[in-house]
């Protein structure tokens, strides 16, 4: 009787405590964490693709299935014009920025490839000579890869650093995409070797030198499919927004036809420059969810997926082609299939899903000039040869088997430091000015910035100069950067992305899940804002070098 009396007397107090502001506040300290955090990245995905091709996307989740883009946009916070604040918008820097919330001047990934002055050779942005590849072609150059060059932490690194249990999986056709998204503490980073046509990793993630079973199983599926012929066709008239009258030069197309239909063979490299490349990436991501039980156990897991095939195709055909319209429509369907798997295994309401891109992409020079817009191309290899001749006249012959300008890519020119230092303390500065004067005389040059300019903060006015400072990382960034005029590109690709202009830096950003308020947002959103926003939703400290803000207007 006494026990019942005590309970009866205590209950009102407990109910009052639970409903009190103090208790409510204590509950709000710990966020309701999702079971799964997903980042979907589409490589070279312009901000306008979601708007231009929206009429052809499948409807949002409903009785007939899932439309990838509409499901995410209808359920999420959509920023149509999210922005990269960097000069050289590329795969490496873009993927490094997404989950570190930092700029290249901090995270150390200013460009895809840089020049190593010690070895006098090109250095790949995720190269790591201390590790070895697992799977794939063992003869592939620069095969040892890891996030060793990435400075600072990622969202998932900080989550693990806080002591929370988690599995982190990152997949992409491109190794730099998978590795840089995964950060330093990823359990798995998996990428594709197009020559062997197999998924692979490195000893950083598989110390025993064996592929994980779930990856090996996917490789067996690819072997069985190898040799199967298929035709990629464009049904009907499409949206009518694509230019179907201009065909790219065959030299840019890796053996593909210059127009629809495309006759392809699974297992051949060019087959991944089609929706098949998106499909096999989606299938690997689904296999990770199923075999590793991502989001299905007592923890928060992370799945990062980059769709690299979009970029491969865009370089060959350009953003105005019917091929890019059809690829985007195919991505909508493939993302829808992945969302269906997530909903079935985890529940969309129990996941936070973000969609974005690593950079945009420019119209081809041919498309622009045909429509009366100033544009052009620059033959960079020929230009580098001219610069070497110019340097030879000034400094004499370079040391045996060396050049004064040994490396350039995407209008980023590297000088031979040891050889110039041997010419005296002022030789490097003199060489920079020599290159500046010559490059500024080129038809497609807008500005030229040297390493000395950056140190002295002597950069172009406005946003362009700011982007130079946010991008430049000493010892890795080039000695001389030529910033082309808007619409000007190199001859290396039919279409490309290497500038700080709007077509390269604007991408979509969509965030959906618990704690996020659906809507279309006009507020300024930088890609560096993604990482601190995810960290806020997870209840962790943002990545160590993060400079972004929490997108508070999109929070419930």
By percentage, how much of the chain surpasses pLDDT 70? 93
Let me know: does 376 contact 487? Beta carbons within 8 Å.
yes
Mean pLDDT across the stretch 310-326? 98
For 314, the 3-state DSSP assignment is helix
C-alpha atoms less than 13 angstroms from C-alpha of 41 in its C-beta half-sphere: 34
Are 461 and 528 part of one and the same domain? no
CA distance 93 to 527: 12
Are 315 and 381 part of one and the same domain? no
Its sign, for the CA torsion 386, 494, 84, 543, is negative
Question: Does pLDDT of 20 surpass 90?
Answer: no
CA distance 102 to 151: 10
DSSP class per residue in 173-203? SSHHHHHHHH-SS-SEEEEEETTTTEEEEET
User: Residue 171 burial (CB < 10 Å; 0-12/13-18/19+)?
Assistant: buried
Question: Does pLDDT of 25 surpass 80?
Answer: no
User: Residue 205 burial (CB < 10 Å; 0-12/13-18/19+)?
Assistant: buried
Length of the chain: 556
φ/ψ of 57, rounded to 5, equals -75, 150
CA distance 535 to 541: 6
Nearest to 512 by CA among 42, 152, 71: 71
For 396, the 3-state DSSP assignment is coil
Give the start-end residues of each E strand in 418-537. Answer: 445-450, 480-484, 488-490, 506-512, 519-520
- pLDDT at residue 138 in the model: 67
Mean pLDDT across the stretch 79-100? 97
Are 417 and 532 part of one and the same domain? no
18 lies in a domain? no
Q: Between 144 and 440, whose confidence is greater?
A: 440
- pLDDT at residue 17 in the model: 44
Are 412 and 550 part of one and the same domain? no
Confidence class for position 24, pLDDT limits 50, 70, 90: very low
Q: For the domain that residue 438 is a member of, what is the CATH number?
A: 3.30.1360.150
Structure tokens at 122: 């090109």
231 lies in a domain? yes
Question: Does pLDDT of 30 surpass 70?
Answer: no
Q: Say how many domains are in the chain.
A: 2
Host domain of residue 458:
376-485
Confidence class for position 245, pLDDT limits 50, 70, 90: confident
Q: Which residues contact 487 (CB under 8 A, 6 or more apart)?
A: 362, 363, 365, 368, 373, 374, 375, 376
- Of 58-62, 232-236, 283-287, 522-526, the range with the lowest mean pLDDT is 58-62
Q: Between 342 and 10, whose confidence is greater?
A: 342
Mean pLDDT across the stretch 447-464? 96
pTM for the whole thing? 0.94
Are 345 and 384 part of one and the same domain? no
22 lies in a domain? no
| Per-residue pLDDT tens digits for 185-209 | 999 999 999 999 999 999 999 999 9
- pLDDT at residue 64 in the model: 66
Let me know: does 44 contact 314? Beta carbons within 8 Å.
yes
Picking from 485, 511, 539, the residue at the C-terminal end of a domain is: 485
17 lies in a domain? no
Are 538 and 461 part of one and the same domain? no
Confidence class for position 7, pLDDT limits 50, 70, 90: very low
Alpha helices, H only, 448-543: 451-455, 462-471, 502-505, 530-538
Give the start-end residues of each E strand in 375-476. Answer: 376-378, 407-409, 412-414, 445-450
Confidence class for position 142, pLDDT limits 50, 70, 90: low
294 lies in a domain? yes
Are 207 and 241 part of one and the same domain? yes
Let me know: does 135 contact 191? Beta carbons within 8 Å.
no
Mean pLDDT across the stretch 26-43? 86
Are 355 and 434 part of one and the same domain? no
Residue with tokens 């464009």: 234
DSSP 145: B
Are 151 and 64 part of one and the same domain? yes
Mean pLDDT computed over every residue of the chain: 94
Give the start-end residues of each E strand in 119-223. Answer: 121-124, 133-134, 168-172, 188-193, 198-202
Residue 204, Cα to own-chain centre: how many angstroms? 21
Cis bond before residue 344 (omega within 30° of 0): no
CA distance 191 to 470: 29
26 lies in a domain? no
CA distance 9 to 4: 8
By percentage, how much of the chain surpasses pLDDT 90? 89
Are 65 and 142 part of one and the same domain? yes
Are 341 and 416 part of one and the same domain? no
Picking from 485, 508, 523, the residue at the C-terminal end of a domain is: 485
251 lies in a domain? yes
- pLDDT at residue 2 in the model: 40
Q: For the domain that residue 205 is a member of, what is the CATH number?
A: 3.40.720.10
Residue with tokens 């490396």: 407
Let me know: does 142 contact 131? Beta carbons within 8 Å.
no
Picking from 427, 450, 485, the residue at the C-terminal end of a domain is: 485
Which residues, listed in sequence order, are joined to residue 305 by a DSSP beta bridge?
Answer: 40, 171
Nearest to 274 by CA among 236, 242, 321, 338: 321
Question: Does pLDDT of 214 surpass 80?
Answer: yes
| Per-residue pLDDT tens digits for 257-304 | 999 999 999 999 999 999 999 999 999 999 999 999 999 999 999 999
78 lies in a domain? yes
| Per-residue pLDDT tens digits for 148-169 | 999 999 999 999 999 999 999 9
- pLDDT at residue 1 in the model: 47
**Beta strand pairing status for 407-409 and 412-414?**
antiparallel
Q: Which residues contact 18 (CB under 8 A, 6 or more apart)?
A: none
Kindly report the CA angle at 111 between 109 and 112, in degrees rounded to 5?
100
Are 362 and 384 part of one and the same domain? no
φ/ψ of 92, rounded to 5, equals -60, -60
């Amino acid at each position: 009787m006494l026990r019942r009396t005590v309970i009866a007397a205590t209950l009102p107090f407990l109910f009052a405590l639970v409903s009190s502001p103090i208790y409510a506040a204590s509950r709000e300290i710990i966020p309701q964490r999702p079971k799964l955090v997903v980042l979907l990245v589409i490589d070279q995905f312009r901000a306008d693709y979601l708007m231009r091709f929206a009429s052809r996307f499948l409807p949002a989740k409903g009785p007939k299935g899932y439309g990838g883009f509409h499901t995410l946009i209808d359920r999420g916070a959509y920023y149509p014009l999210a922005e990269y604040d960097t000069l050289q918008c590329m795969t490496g820097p873009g993927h490094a920025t997404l989950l570190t919330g930092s700029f290249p001047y901090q995270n150390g990934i200013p460009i895809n490839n840089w020049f190593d002055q010690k070895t006098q050779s090109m250095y790949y942005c995720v190269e790591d000579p201390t590790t070895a590849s697992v799977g794939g072609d063992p003869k592939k150059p620069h095969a040892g890869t890891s996030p060793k060059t990435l400075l600072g932490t990622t969202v998932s690194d900080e989550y693990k650093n806080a002591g929370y249990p988690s599995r982190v999986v990152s997949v992409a056709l491109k190794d730099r995409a998978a590795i840089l998204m995964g950060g330093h503490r990823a359990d798995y980073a998996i990428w594709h070797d197009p020559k062997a046509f197999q998924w692979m990793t490195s000893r950083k993630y598989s110390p025993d030198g064996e592929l994980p079973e779930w990856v090996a199983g996917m490789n067996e599926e690819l072997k069985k499919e190898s040799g199967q012929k298929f035709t990629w066709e464009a049904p009907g008239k499409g949206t009518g927004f694509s230019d179907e009258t201009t065909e790219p030069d065959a030299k840019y197309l890796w053996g593909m036809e210059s127009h629809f239909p495309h006759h392809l063979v699974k297992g051949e490299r060019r087959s991944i420059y089609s929706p098949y490349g998106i499909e096999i990436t989606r299938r690997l991501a689904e296999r990770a969810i199923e075999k590793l039980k991502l989001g299905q156990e007592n923890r928060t897991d992370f799945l990062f997926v980059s769709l690299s095939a979009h970029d491969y195709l865009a370089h060959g055909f350009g953003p105005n082609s019917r091929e890019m319209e059809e690829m985007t429509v195919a991505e909508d369907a493939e993302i829808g299939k992945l969302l269906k798997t997530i909903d079935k295994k985890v529940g969309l309401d129990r996941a936070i899903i973000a969609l974005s891109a690593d950079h945009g992409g420019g119209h081809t020079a041919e498309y622009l000039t045909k429509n009366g817009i100033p544009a052009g191309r620059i033959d960079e290899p020929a230009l580098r040869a001219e610069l070497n001749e110019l340097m030879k006249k000034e400094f004499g012959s370079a040391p045996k088997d060396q050049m004064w300008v040994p490396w350039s890519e995407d209008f980023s020119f590297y000088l031979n430091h040891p050889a110039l230092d041997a010419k005296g303390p002022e030789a490097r500065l003199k060489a920079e000015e020599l290159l500046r004067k010559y490059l500024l005389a080129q038809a497609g040059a807008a500005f030229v910035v040297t390493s000395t300019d950056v140190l002295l903060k002597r950069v172009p006015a406005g946003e362009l100069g700011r982007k130079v400072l946010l991008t430049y990382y000493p010892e890795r960034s080039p000695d001389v950067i030529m910033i082309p005029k808007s619409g000007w590109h190199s001859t290396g690709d039919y279409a490309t992305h290497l500038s700080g202009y709007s077509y390269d830096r604007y991408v979509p950003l969509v965030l959906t899940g618990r704690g996020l308020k659906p809507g279309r947002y006009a507020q300024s959103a930088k890609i560096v804002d993604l990482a601190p926003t995810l960290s806020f939703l997870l209840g962790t400290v943002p990545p160590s070098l993060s400079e972004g803000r929490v997108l508070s207007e999109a929070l419930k």
